[in-house]
Amino acid sequence: MTLSDRYIFCDIDGTLLHAKGAGRLAFGAAFEQAYGVPVDLAHINFAGATDIRVVEQLIRENGLEPDPARMARFFELLPGHLDRNMAEFPPTVFPGVVHFLERVSAHWKLALVSGNIRKTAYLKLRHGGLEGFFTDIGGFGDDDGDRNRMAALALERAGNPEGSFLLGDTPSDIEAARSNGMVSVAVCNGQFDRATLEAEHPDMIVDSFEDAEHLFRALDV
């Protein structure tokens, strides 16, 4: 197997970095601007969610009618709000992530499976200093509301490579890997603890990228 067909797909939030609420604030501001309705996002759990599904939930909860033009406007506005928030409050990259990406990127291509829309996914990577490690290949929250189908689309865009890995911090990431024949690696950086992730039977589990030698061995790097 060559570098050209070896892929590691990564989730972003809770896996590689913590956005410290910048995304939630941007979401609320963009929604109010696009739909004219202030929203309380305190009850929204973004872990494992996709942006399309969150917007659809807010539309239902606020008694609004689906409107493709307004949704398109929301997604146009969202990156600007996020960029400004993260310029003021940069995300925290989890310990060991940079070393992990440096080590594997010499042998594997890195791509994304993220519930963020494409533009905000790469904004988060850029503000975290991680963008340079990743290709432009992935499945995103503006491609599909279903994470399993997002992962399938990411694989298709990569040329359907065999033996790919998917790293994520939620049960949804584990299921997306399993449903697409990918090696699932659960990362305990997010809101789900080891016991919860183990119950989903991932192929591997990583408590921290600072303690990931077993993952490096599996990746042969």
- 118-127 and 68-88 helices cross at what angle (nearest 10)? 0
Residues 130, 147 contacting (CB under 8 angstroms): no
Provide the pLDDT for residue 1: 44
Provide the pLDDT for residue 4: 56
Which of 67, 88, 109 corresponds to the end of one domain?
Answer: 88
Domain extent for 70? 22-88
pTM: predicted TM-score of the whole model, two decimal places: 0.93
Provide the pLDDT for residue 47: 86
Provide the pLDDT for residue 209: 96
Per DSSP, helices labelled H in 89-193 are: 97-104, 118-127, 147-157, 171-179
Q: Are residues 199 and 167 in the same domain?
A: yes
Mean pLDDT by 10 residues, the chain (221 residues): 77 95 93 93 86 92 93 96 95 97 96 96 97 97 91 96 96 97 96 95 96 94 93
Please choose, from the candidates 134, 101, 99, 104, the residue with its C-alpha nearest in 3D space to the C-alpha of residue 118: 134
Number of domains in the chain: 2
- Distance from C-alpha of 27 to C-alpha of 144, rounded to nearest angstrom: 18
- Distance from C-alpha of 1 to C-alpha of 104, rounded to nearest angstrom: 15
Q: Which two tokens stand for residue 129?
A: 């200093």
Which of 88, 106, 139 corresponds to the end of one domain?
Answer: 88
Q: Are residues 62 and 135 in the same domain?
A: no
